[in-house]
């Protein structure tokens, strides 16, 4: 009988340690997927004075704004930022538009921040964006769509460096 209860205790201890092991692994995965992404509140949204409402969406979703500034950029600077779209029909218009009024550039940090931000933003065209997303609620049309968000971790690093020095990122 004593032998059986020893086996039972040993099994329970093994099970408990296994569970702990799973938790440790999960924590590691989460640490690895902590990311930063570049967000821009576009001229249509700054004109409506809704930067606070948009920031609240990020914070409610667990993203932390670790850098933020309200600036104006020239059409030439917008052209450099959107250089990947150089060949697209909408390139000139988006560059003119992004330099037509103040924008708020910001760095968001959190678990899977790149994808999470894209989900909070919604589809490029507000008409196709899911209910409850920023673009659905605040965007006007496919060009004036309230926010920009990096589309990959690699591009996020490039876009963050376009607007911020490492000293300006306050974790
Ligand atoms: P997203 O901002 O969703 O990543 P894209 O990278 O494809 O979308 O495009 C960059 C920006 O250019 C969009 O957010 C939008 O403001 C503008 N844009 C994209 N497609 C069009 C289009 N067909 N007509 C006008 N403007 C567009
Ligand atoms: Mg894009």
Per DSSP, the three-state class of 38 is strand
Atom of ligand 1 nearest to the CA of 124: 3
| Residue 24 reports pLDDT greater than 50 | no
Residue 21 has pLDDT above 80, yes or no: no
Helix (H) or strand (E) holding 29: helix 2-32
Instruction: Determine which helix (DSSP H) or strand (DSSP E) holds 1, and give its type and residue range.
Output: none
Q: Ligand 1 centroid to 167 CA: how many Å?
A: 30
Q: Which residues of 30-55 are buried (b: 16+ CB within 10 A; e: fewer)?
A: eeeeebbbbbbbbbbbbeeebbeebb
How many A from CA of 28 to the centre of ligand 2? 30
| Alpha carbon nearest to ligand 1 atom 25, residue | 143
User: Going by CA atoms, what residue is nearest to atom 27 of ligand 1?
Assistant: 143
* Average pLDDT value for residue range 105-122: 98
pLDDT at res. 96: 98
Q: Which residues are catalytic?
A: 148
Q: What pLDDT was estimated at residue 27? A: 52
């Amino acid at each position: 009988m004593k032998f059986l209860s020893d086996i039972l205790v040993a099994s329970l201890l093994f099970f408990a340690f296994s569970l702990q092991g799973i938790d440790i692994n999960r924590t590691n995965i989460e640490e690895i997927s902590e990311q930063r992404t570049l967000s821009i509140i576009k001229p249509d949204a700054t004109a409506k004075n809704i930067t606070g409402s948009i920031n609240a969406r990020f914070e409610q979703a667990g993203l932390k704004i670790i850098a933020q500034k309200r600036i104006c950029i020239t059409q030439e600077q917008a052209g450099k930022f959107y250089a990947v779209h150089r060949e697209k029909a909408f390139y000139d218009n988006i560059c003119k538009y992004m330099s037509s009024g103040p924008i708020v550039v910001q760095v968001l940090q959190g678990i899977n921040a790149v994808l999470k931000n894209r989900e909070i933003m919604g589809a490029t065209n507000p008409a196709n964006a899911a209910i409850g997303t920023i673009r659905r609620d605040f965007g006007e049309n496919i060009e004036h769509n309230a926010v920009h968000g990096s589309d990959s971790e690699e591009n996020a690093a490039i876009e963050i460096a376009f607007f911020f020095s490492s000293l300006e990122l306050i974790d």
